[in-house]
Structure formats: structure tokens, C-alpha cells
Amino acid sequence: MSDPRDPLERDPDVAPAKAEAARKTANWWVAAVVAVVAVAGALAMLRTVRPSPEKLQAAHDQGVAEAQVDDAAYGRQLTLARAAQAAAAGRAQTTEAAAQTAASGADAVAQTAPAVPVSSGP
């Protein structure tokens, strides 16, 4: 597994074990540099994310306004639901009263009507 482009393998004075150790050390140095750059980038991003007090106050005010609108909308819905319930109850009472009046009228007509004999046929 020799690589002719690798300068450590082209040098006949360098032992294969020494060449492998040099490559592993270089890999660790590259990994360390990448880690340091990643940590520095994360810190820079986190430092700039903090919002200003004005933005925090604006967000709070917006939340309060939305809550007030939601409360008003809920209140309107609740009022409409209660009104619909009351209207349905009123219609039910009116229907019940009409049915009782019709039943009373039918009883009165039945009591005042002359009895009709039932014939058994021709």
C-alpha cells in the first residue's frame, strides 16, 4: 500500500513505522485545528444572538396585544354560544307550548263532537 506521492514513503531513510507515526500526528493536528475553529465559530454565533432590550420589549408588547385579541374573540364566541343556546331553549319552549295547545284543542273538539255510531257493515 505504498503511495508514490507521499514524501515520507519516497524517502528511503524513513522507516515505514516512523512514516505512519508522522501521518497520525499530522491527522491529530488537523483535527485539533478544526475543533478550535469550530468552537470559536460557535462562540461568535452565540455572542451575536442575544437580542436587544428594545426587541425584547417589542416582542412582549406584541404578545400582550395578541393575548388581548384572543381573549376578546373568545368572549365573543362565548357570548354567541350562550345566545344560540338561549334561542334554542326558547324555540323548544314555544314548540312545547304549541304542542300542548294543539293537544288541548283536539281534546276539546273530541269531547264536544257527537258520538257517531260505528256500523258493522252493509
Q: What is the pLDDT of residue 122?
A: 60
Percent of the chain with pLDDT over 90: 48
What cell was used for 118?
Answer: 260505528
Query: From CA 96, how far away is CA 60, in angstroms rounded?
Result: 54
- The pLDDT of residue 5 is above 70: no
Contact 20, 1 (CB under 8 A): no
Alpha carbon distance 111, 116 (integer Å): 12
* Cβ(15)–Cβ(9) below 8 Å: no
The yes-or-no verdict on residue 120 having pLDDT over 70 is: no
Q: What is residue 116's three-state secondary structure?
A: coil
Question: 2: left (phi > 0), else alpha (psi -120 to 50), else beta?
Answer: beta
User: What does the alpha-carbon distance between residue 36 and residue 34 come to, in Å, rounded to a whole number?
Assistant: 6
pLDDT digits (tens, 9 = 90+) for 22-78: 777 888 889 999 999 999 999 988 887 778 889 999 999 999 999 999 999 999 999
Least confident range from 16-20, 36-40, 55-59, 106-110: namely: 16-20
SS3 56: helix
